[in-house]
Structure 1
Amino acid sequence: MTVASMERGGRSRGAAAIGAVLLFLAASSSLGARANTDSNDVTALGVFYTTMNSPPQLKNWVSQNGDPCGQSWTGVTCSGSRVTAINLPGMGLNGTLGYNMNLLTALVQLDMSNNNLGGSDIPYNLPPNLEKLNLAGNHFTGTTPYSISQMFTLKDLNLGHNQLSTISDMFNSLTNLTTMDLSFNTFSGNIPQSFNSLTSLKTLYMQNNQFSGTIDVLANVPLTDLNVANNKFTGWVPDKLKKINNLQTTGNSFSNGPAPPPPPGTTPAPQRPAVPSSSGSNALSDSGSKHSKLQGGAVAGIVICLLVVGAIVTFFVIKRKSWKLSLRRDPEQNEPLSPLASGFKHMKSIKIISTTGKDQFQKTVSMSLKPPTKIDLHKSFDENDLTSKSVARKISLSSIRIPAYTVADLQIATGSFSPDNFISEGSFGRVFKAQFDDQKVLAVKKINFSAFPSYPSDLFIELVANISRLNHPNLAELVGYCSEHGQCLLAYEFYRSGSLHDLLNLVDDQNKPLSWNSRVKIALGSARALEYLHETCSPSVIHKNFKSSNILLDNELNPHLSDSGYADLIPNQEFQESEENSGYRAPEVAMSGQYSLKSDVYSFGVVMLELLTGRKPFDRSRPRSEQSLVRWATPQLHDIDALDQMVDPALQGLYPSKSLSRFADAIALCVQAEPEFRPPMSEVVQSLVRLVQRANMTRMSGCESYTGRHGESGDYGV
């Protein structure tokens, strides 16, 4: 081999080596060009950046096709390809959190404190596996999102210094929470009972709110630092809490002196075991017991308690038999009371507490000093009477702030309830239009108590009081009542556009088809009505009869939910099994007859399906596979092509496809078969609000447009 050939070979091998290196670098470059971040995390942070109005101070952040982990976004920490922490305190950020933060499943820390975020509710789709959540020092309003209740790993929660007003009872599963700050908001009402499940909580700040009631629920929480100053708390500070070194309670109305014993039904504080000694009998003597000569105070006390409990139980057995006999007598006979009955003459209440092992049974019998004038003589007085309806139920008429009409007034206004003024017949009675001399128009409902034999008509005033306390712009307003001559009538505002059921099913020349905008508006207003009943009222109000015929519409198509507060009118079997209501009943209601907040959510989802499809919840005229709206529609809600085929033909294709898809997503959550998987109404409201907000943003950017009916191109009216 010549020198020249060797040189040529060397050059050839050198060129090959250089080529290999270049190929390796190119491959490395192409690998590096691919995003290092999980696609779900990229999507969530891109939306987050947009909802914060694309702040320039967040270096390297972009709304699309970004790489948070590979490009070192400001405030973002990663582990591998997953985003694990977002820390952006005090950055002057505005806007709000992203609506799909739940995609950040590896995120354990989110600190957005001391910014200008909010002006609306905290989004409900928060990252599910957070250990630290800090949203303090912003402008969030409304309700604490229910998704926090599912953060089982959460240790540190700070929502202080916002404008939050409602706190959900959602803390049962937060057993790892050690620090919680709710201070400087506008929270009101009692402390949620689920606080007693916070078995790891050491630090709790609740100062400068409007909480009321007692703080007894905190007695068994292992707190070392507690601040409840400047609220509206009353009662006593429990002895256990007084032992906390860092305790601040000023600015409340707490009572001085030792706290009373815990209320019946609460878990008693652990006591030291009794040791037999001479002090035992002395204690009995000091209390004035006639058994003070017994030795061994602890044993004597137990024996006495058993004797007393046995005597009371025997007493009630005899009493019950005696009452059953006495109640069968003619009430007009002036027979003297039996010794047992007269014994109750001066008794207001008796409490029976029987403890066996770990089970505790307690009953409180409330007796009126003056019995009601009307008594059902054919119904025995038993335990069901005690648990369901107290014998002594007195509602002060002065507490009812709405006017009382006379039967004569309403007869004149309705033309003696003539067929010409008949509006409809609902589950609880007939409704008539009432025209008064001052041109005021009301809708008068005649309650038919014969359909509800378990609910005596003499409790009508209590029903009126309960309904009149409900106050929300999306509830039908009760403006008067009538209770005389055996008549039970309720007077409501008259809503001229009729019910949603009629507008969807009785389309004619006078009733134009509802536009997509109007349907979203009706869904949102109805959701807000249920949210008020479920999460603002205390205790929560279950509607039990949520359906499109109970959604009344005014001239601007604002929805007003009727029949709210009727839950105590337990329907008879015919009502429960009526075909009209069958399509709205949640599976668990159909099986057990037991209603709940989540069964209302299911019924709301069915109404949303009516708005989407224009179909009835149950329609026997359709093929068998399509008769049940939920069964027919549910499998198609996530199929965009099938979804287009499901839409009410009356819309004539005039709807934005993205809005339709998000509407369907909310429906799918509400009509899930398992009640525990259905969202609370506050989350449904938030999802519909975001649907409207995103639709408005999209139209403003010109990315998606359409023209609705009646000049409603894009105005959701919210």
Structure 2
Amino acid sequence: MSENHRVGLALFILCIVGLKPSFILAATDASDTSALNYMFSAMNSPGQLSQWTSSSGGDPCGQNWKGVTCSDSRVTQIKLSGLGLSGSLGSALDKLTSVTEFDLSNNNLGGDLPYQLPPNLERLNLASNQFTGSAPYSVSQMTPLKYLNLAHNQLKQLSIDFTKLTSLSILDLSSNTLTGSLPNSMSSLTSAKSIYLQNNQFSGTIDVLATLPLENLNIANNQFTGWIPDSLKGINLQKDGNPLSSGPAPPPPPGTPPIHRSPTPKSGKGGSSSNNGDSSSSSSNDSNKSGIGAGGIAGIVISLLVVTAVIAFFLIKKRRSKKTASTDIERTDNINQPPPFTLASNDLHQENKAIQNPPLVETKKLDTSLSMNLRPPPAERHKSFDEDDSTPRKPIVTKKPAVVLPSNVKAYTVADLQIATNSFSVDDLLGEGTFGRVYRAQFDDGKVLAVKKIDSSALPTDTAADDFTEIVSKIACLDHENVTRLDGYCSEHGQHLVIYEFYRNGSLHDFLHLSEEESKPLIWNPRVKIALGTARALEYLHEVCSPSIVHKNIKSANILLDSELNPHLSDAGLASFLPTANELLNQNDEGYGAPEVSMSGQYSLKSDVYSFGVVMLELLTGRKPFDSTRSRSEQSLVRWATPQLHDIDALGKMVDPALKGLYPVKSLSRFADVIALCVQPEPEFRPPMSEVVQALVVLVQRANMSKRTVGVGSGSSGANDYM
């Protein structure tokens, strides 16, 4: 080989070696590449994004993908504003853990905003798109977030908890269809400079914003009511288009903390510490500036009156002790005769009206002492002020108002129920739960109901009938199509029973786990439908009922199915009102309990979400939450299944064999994504039920269930029909 050939070959080899890092070894982290591949596919593989690809591989950093900025091997910014992009965002963006700015504003992207957004964002801009549904709860965990813009979309619900967003400076939620009151957690936005809420349907007051260091606030064209807090009157405020109250705001009730951004002045002893910030009254301004509120002045005046009256009493008593006239003695002992110096209760009331907000406790004490001629209190605390009257006073007993039940809730007798259940025969036993046994009851008119006989361990037999009726009245108020309806109750002879609507198809537990039901297995669509209906029931208890109701006992045995396989959540509210419910539930954990419950014994909305995730796992796998017949590594369903939920191959092997492979792969994967969120070990990372409902609604819509109504949970459609 000639010298020239050798040199040429050497140069060729060097070129190959030199080029190797750029086209053989990818410069981008594999998880980032995978997330962008999925995102590109979800956006319908737009031609505007040159070099992007939906297939596995590609090199966003090494190939300089459009709109992508990298640092080392990690993607740090994605800026694709105004490119006419369509489709959705996909559900893998949470892998982009190094992305700090995500801007896809001014496009045509739509669908629900995904839970899976880059978790460590400082700037998130999705404005001017066509996103629907809810502002996702996952934003609540973005503690570095400084800028959030979701304006000009079609969002209907604000599911963000702002408690941790203390770095957020600019918040723009304008021009959506957001409803309801502003969440109390917005008071945590201690760095907020500008908030834009205009052109929505918000209602309630804006008091929650009063303490924020705002410079710009736009609330125009909403349904806000009440008054503008004084602390917000000095900023750039736009408020037209709201039914706000005009004129000076009324004074706050006694004890209300001041609403302004300056340090709170210390209240005088016995006085009220509340003030209105910039009060419309000049006199109240002056008193506030002096450091003594109106309540403080009232306390001082009243204290002086009391001291003066007591001194006068002692002087009078000393003077009278020197006299022997019987008339003087009679006057001293007669409590109806006013002393030389007295202030009647009515006079005191008039003076109190002139002095704003005296403390209620002090007023009561003063009225009592004055009505007894201001006699000094004896040494013994519980002795009467009137030392001459040794007759014991009867305590004042306030009669508890009678509990009024809805007209549709019937009071049954024990005799009625004994006849209907054949004296609570074993043949009519439907099941046994944490709080008692449930029996099938058939009445003379042909009506069939379910009777739950509450154990004495849950509700002692000496419980008063009125107390039990009060519990029943609370349960009777629950009204939702996916919550089991209460028909009546019985409280006689130490027995306490609740009577519910009866569902002939039994429980979800029966369908999934009893061998005799194998002839009519649930196909995929009814399983998603059952999950959605149950989620809606929990959303109602958590987010519609006020105060919120924690169910505490979510399990497949408490999900009853009607003839059309619609789910109905039973025992709703029961565990919240029974006195020993927590103790009993902790003794009977069947694999549904959240980790924090097993540690503390305390239940919450988030522990309900976890239990619901376990039920979804039952629907997915057909397995029980805890099964001691399996190998040790597979006994706990959550522990066994959770690591496999994001592995599509493993997921396929986990699916209930009763489905016989007839399920849509995409729907299965999204179903698993929701499960993974619900059963997270940290309660704060679990989504609210409203977000779970939205995700399941999408699955139901895509499954197009109306086309598959053959038999009970059976059908002839193949897997391709579910896409």
TM-score by length of 1: 0.72
Other-structure match for 1:713: 718
Is residue 565 of structure 1 aligned with residue 573 of structure 2? yes
The secondary structure found in structure 2 opposite 1:534 is helix
Is residue 83 of structure 1 aligned with residue 95 of structure 2? no
Q: Quick one: distance in 2 between partners of 1:88 and 1:215?
A: 34
Other-structure match for 1:543: 551
Other-structure match for 2:585: 576
Structure 2 contact 420–443 (Cα < 8 Å) conserved: no
Structure 1 contact 521–716 (Cα < 8 Å) conserved: no
Is residue 372 of structure 1 aligned with residue 393 of structure 2? no
Matches within 5 A, 1:636-655: 648-651=656-659
Other-structure match for 1:594: 602
Task: Give the drift of 1:561.
Answer: 1.9
Task: Give the drift of 1:130.
Answer: 1.6
Structure 1 contact 238–259 (Cα < 8 Å) conserved: no
Other-structure match for 1:99: 91
Q: Quick one: distance in 1 between partners of 2:290 and 2:99?
A: 60
Other-structure match for 1:391: none
Q: Could you report, residue by residue, the CA deviation over 1:569-619 in whole angstroms, capped at 9, with x for unpaired residues? A: 24357623444x342222332332211122223322332343344343344
The 1:628/1:55 distance shift into structure 2, 3 A limit, reads: closer
Other-structure match for 2:434: 427
Other-structure match for 2:167: 176
Task: Give the drift of 1:496.
Answer: 2.7
The 1:136/1:483 distance shift into structure 2, 3 A limit, reads: farther
Other-structure match for 1:156: 147
Q: Could you report, residue by residue, the CA deviation over 1:514-547 in whole angstroms, capped at 9, with x for unpaired residues? A: 3345444433443443344334545433210001
Is residue 194 of structure 1 aligned with residue 185 of structure 2? yes
The secondary structure found in structure 2 opposite 1:68 is coil
Report the number of matched residues.
Answer: 619
Which letter maps to 2:562?
Answer: D
The secondary structure found in structure 2 opposite 1:289 is helix
Is residue 32 of structure 1 aligned with residue 41 of structure 2? no
Of the structure 1 ranges 483-492 and 188-197, higher mean CA displacement relative to structure 2 is found in 483-492
Structure 1 contact 507–513 (Cα < 8 Å) conserved: no
Matches within 5 A, 1:468-617: 470-473=478-481, 475-478=482-485, 480-482=487-489, 492-508=500-516, 511-566=519-574, 567-572=576-581, 575-579=584-588, 581-617=589-625
The 1:681/1:709 distance shift into structure 2, 3 A limit, reads: same
The 1:19/1:228 distance shift into structure 2, 3 A limit, reads: same
The secondary structure found in structure 1 opposite 2:516 is coil
Q: Quick one: distance in 1 between partners of 2:721 and 2:577?
A: 35
Other-structure match for 1:42: 33
The 1:445/1:496 distance shift into structure 2, 3 A limit, reads: same
The sequence identity of aligned pairs, in percent, is 55
Q: Could you report, residue by residue, the CA deviation over 1:653-697 in whole angstroms, capped at 9, with x for unpaired residues? A: 66677766765565455445443454544555566667779999x
Other-structure match for 1:329: none
Task: Give the drift of 1:217.
Answer: 1.7
After superposition, the CA RMSD in angstroms is: 4.8
Q: Quick one: distance in 2 between partners of 1:435 and 1:44?
A: 58
Task: Give the drift of 1:104.
Answer: 1.9
Q: Quick one: distance in 1 between partners of 2:419 and 2:106?
A: 60
Of the structure 1 ranges 513-522 and 616-625, higher mean CA displacement relative to structure 2 is found in 616-625
Task: Give the drift of 1:23.
Answer: 3.2
Unaligned runs of 5+ in 1: 1-10, 295-300, 323-336, 346-369, 374-393, 697-707
The 1:564/1:455 distance shift into structure 2, 3 A limit, reads: farther
Task: Give the drift of 1:133.
Answer: 1.3
Other-structure match for 2:113: 122
Matches within 5 A, 1:1-80: 12-34=2-24, 35-64=26-55, 65-80=57-72
Task: Give the drift of 1:372.
Answer: 1.4
Other-structure match for 2:324: none
Matches within 5 A, 1:632-711: 648-651=656-659, 667=675, 669-682=677-690, 684=692, 710-711=715-716
Q: Could you report, residue by residue, the CA deviation over 1:328-349 in whole angstroms, capped at 9, with x for unpaired residues? A: xxxxxxxxx975834xx8xxxx
Q: Quick one: distance in 1 between partners of 2:651 and 2:40?
A: 30
Which letter maps to 1:196?
Answer: S
The secondary structure found in structure 1 opposite 2:162 is coil
Matches within 5 A, 1:103-502: 103-119=95-111, 121-168=112-159, 170-248=161-239, 250-254=241-245, 256-261=247-252, 264=255, 266=257, 270-272=263-265, 289-291=301-303, 308=362, 339=393, 341-342=395-396, 371-372=399-400, 400=406, 403-407=408-412, 411=416, 415=420, 419=425, 422-433=429-440, 442-445=449-452, 451-453=458-460, 457-459=465-467, 463=471, 466-467=474-475, 470-473=478-481, 475-478=482-485, 480-482=487-489, 492-502=500-510
TM-score by length of 2: 0.71
Which letter maps to 1:341?
Answer: P
The secondary structure found in structure 2 opposite 1:42 is helix
Structure 1 contact 129–151 (Cα < 8 Å) conserved: yes
Q: Quick one: distance in 1 between partners of 2:72 and 2:674?
A: 33
Structure 1 contact 476–493 (Cα < 8 Å) conserved: no
The 1:338/1:371 distance shift into structure 2, 3 A limit, reads: farther
The 1:563/1:455 distance shift into structure 2, 3 A limit, reads: farther
Task: Give the drift of 1:220.
Answer: 1.0
Task: Give the drift of 1:99.
Answer: 0.5
Structure 2 contact 503–562 (Cα < 8 Å) conserved: yes
Structure 2 contact 586–601 (Cα < 8 Å) conserved: no
Q: Quick one: distance in 1 between partners of 2:361 and 2:488?
A: 51
Q: Quick one: distance in 2 between partners of 1:201 and 1:123?
A: 25
Structure 2 contact 553–585 (Cα < 8 Å) conserved: no
Structure 2 contact 525–703 (Cα < 8 Å) conserved: no
The 1:95/1:470 distance shift into structure 2, 3 A limit, reads: farther
Q: Quick one: distance in 2 between partners of 1:606 and 1:142?
A: 25
The secondary structure found in structure 1 opposite 2:410 is coil
The secondary structure found in structure 1 opposite 2:110 is strand
Which letter maps to 2:510?
Answer: D
The 1:565/1:111 distance shift into structure 2, 3 A limit, reads: same
Of the structure 1 ranges 199-208 and 186-195, higher mean CA displacement relative to structure 2 is found in 186-195
